[in-house]
């Protein structure tokens, strides 16, 4: 990769003191980019060939000595800039990145964050939060918190530090904490996603990527869980029995609504609106996209025909508790809530007495049938 790094002085535009700006000039593949350094040189004290300030000796006047001392400080700063520029290019080349001039500029001007894994992680969490991806931002934050428990020097880690040895150590740490395979998979999927995105943006470390061929295999962490089924007799009781406690009755109806809607999730139920009921040739349908994946490309909506049982549940729930805004079900109870405010709520603890009142005893005051 042919490139050059220079620090020339401008010749076309002087400031009010007759000084000219000194800039970093990065050239690659016959293209160049100038980066301002907030340094200015008097042509009389600038070495064009050496691209540095001229230092005089044996000065007597106090003002001349002060100006000379400032030029020495400016030369020291220039030397640091030269080292920084070379290190950035060397890092790009070691990691096999075919860098662009814009990537170099970003790296040079953001040295405090350059290559810092946790700074990038934090920025990504904030970005997800700001764009309404609350669930993903929380998943990433939990992973970041666990990594911080594992590694006290996380803030100092570069992307190149997050290698195969590092993730294996993290896996051992999780195992010692008693985390099962599925829990460990949860953390490693988030970690892998962060590294993948960083590599795609050219700020990660491709050379030390730990999840490639021959690396750490996240899929092997998955463990089969025991399937739990609700006996037909218990399901029949849920359909035909009204709970004594209003809260338990509310929960029973929401469960049945989910059951009749092919297992629709709680968050998807909560976000259903009246506008999502569509009239078609053979009846009314609930048409929605899952909240979890609705922003992904090519996601198709799910259509659920409104059966008499579903219609009865909607009417019963709305009669028991009024809905707000345009929501179909009385799950969201405060008007005007959006984004993260809809994802947080407070529940009262379930006491023994509440459990007893929720216990099914055949009353048949309002049965829901298929």
pLDDT digits (tens, 9 = 90+) for 291-312: 888 878 888 999 999 999 999 9
Residue with tokens 């009755």: 249
C-alpha distances in angstroms, 144 versus 128, 139, 297? 14, 9, 27
Cα distance between residue 97 and residue 335, in whole Å: 50
The total domain count for the chain is: 3
Q: What is the pLDDT of residue 335?
A: 82
Lowest mean pLDDT among 121-130, 270-279, 292-301: 292-301
pLDDT in tens, 183-200: 999 999 999 999 999 988
Residue with tokens 């976000």: 271
Where does a domain end: 221, 253, 282?
221
Q: Is pLDDT above 50 for 337?
A: yes
State whether 193 and 306 are in the same domain: no
Strands 52-53, 46-47: pairing is antiparallel
State whether 292 and 241 are in the same domain: yes
Whether 195 and 211 have beta carbons less than 8 Å apart is answered as yes
Q: Is pLDDT above 80 for 271?
A: yes
Sheet architecture: strand order including 277-280: 277-280, 283-288, 302-305
Other beta carbons less than 10 A from residue 212's beta carbon: 10
Q: Among candidates 139, 195, 193, 203, which has minimal Cα distance to 163?
A: 195
State whether 27 and 101 are in the same domain: yes
Where does a domain end: 89, 109, 129?
109
Cα distance between residue 153 and residue 123, in whole Å: 18
State whether 168 and 196 are in the same domain: yes
Q: Is pLDDT above 90 for 269?
A: yes
The token pair at 49 is 């060939």
State whether 188 and 144 are in the same domain: yes
In 3-state terms, what secondary structure has residue 205?
coil
In 3-state terms, what secondary structure has residue 14?
strand
The token pair at 229 is 């089924």
* pTM attached to this predicted model: 0.57
Question: How high is the mean pLDDT of the chain?
Answer: 87
State whether 102 and 124 are in the same domain: no
State whether 87 and 122 are in the same domain: no
Cα distance between residue 86 and residue 323, in whole Å: 63
- Please give the helix or strand (H or E) that residue 35 lies within, else none: strand 31-41
Domain annotation covers residue 370: no
Whether 29 and 12 have beta carbons less than 8 Å apart is answered as no
Could you tell me which residue, 8 or 224, shows the higher pLDDT?
Answer: 8
Q: What is the mean pLDDT of residues 346-364?
A: 51
Where does a domain end: 62, 86, 109?
109
Cα distance between residue 119 and residue 107, in whole Å: 14
132: left (phi over 0), alpha (psi -120 to 50) or beta: left
State whether 237 and 345 are in the same domain: yes
State whether 256 and 170 are in the same domain: no
Domain that holds residue 297: 232-358
Residue 49 burial by Cβ neighbours in a 10 Å radius (0-12, 13-18, 19+) = exposed
Domain annotation covers residue 226: no
């Amino acid at each position: 990769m042919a490139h050059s790094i220079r620090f020339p002085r401008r010749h076309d535009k002087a400031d009010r003191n007759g000084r000219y700006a000194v800039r970093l000039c990065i050239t690659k593949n016959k293209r160049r980019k100038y980066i301002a350094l907030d340094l200015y040189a008097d042509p009389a004290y600038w070495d064009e060939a050496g691209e540095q300030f001229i230092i005089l000796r044996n000065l007597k006047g106090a003002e001349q000595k002060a100006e000379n001392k400032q030029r020495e400080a400016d030369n020291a700063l220039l030397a640091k800039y030269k080292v920084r520029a070379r290190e950035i290019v060397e890092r790009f080349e070691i990691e096999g990145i075919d860098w662009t001039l814009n990537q170099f500029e970003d790296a040079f001007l953001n040295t405090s964050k350059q290559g810092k894994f946790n700074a990038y992680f934090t920025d990504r969490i904030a970005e997800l939060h700001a764009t309404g991806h609350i669930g993903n931002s929380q998943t990433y934050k939990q992973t970041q918190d666990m990594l911080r428990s594992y590694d006290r020097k996380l803030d100092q880690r570069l992307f190149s530090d997050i290698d195969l040895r590092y993730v294996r150590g993290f896996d051992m740490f999780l195992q010692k904490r008693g985390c099962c395979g599925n829990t460990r998979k949860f953390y490693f999927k988030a970690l892998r996603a962060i590294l993948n995105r960083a590599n795609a943006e050219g700020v990660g470390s491709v050379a030390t990527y730990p999840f490639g061929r021959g690396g750490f295999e996240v899929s092997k962490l998955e463990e089969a869980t025991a399937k739990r089924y609700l006996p037909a007799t218990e399901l029949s009781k849920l359909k035909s029995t009204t709970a004594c406690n209003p809260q338990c009755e509310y929960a029973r109806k929401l469960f049945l609504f989910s059951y009749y809607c092919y297992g629709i999730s709680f968050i998807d139920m909560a976000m259903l609106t009246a506008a999502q009921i569509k009239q078609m040739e053979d009846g009314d349908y609930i048409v929605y996209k899952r909240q979890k994946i609705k922003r992904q490309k090519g996601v198709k909506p799910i259509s659920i025909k409104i059966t008499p049982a579903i219609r009865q549940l909607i009417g019963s729930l709305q009669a028991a508790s009024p809905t707000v805004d345009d929501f179909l079900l009385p799950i969201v109870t405060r008007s005007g809530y959006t984004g993260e405010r809809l994802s947080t709520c407070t529940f009262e603890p379930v006491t023994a007495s509440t459990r007893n009142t929720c216990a099914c005893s055949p009353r048949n005051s309002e049965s829901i049938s298929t």
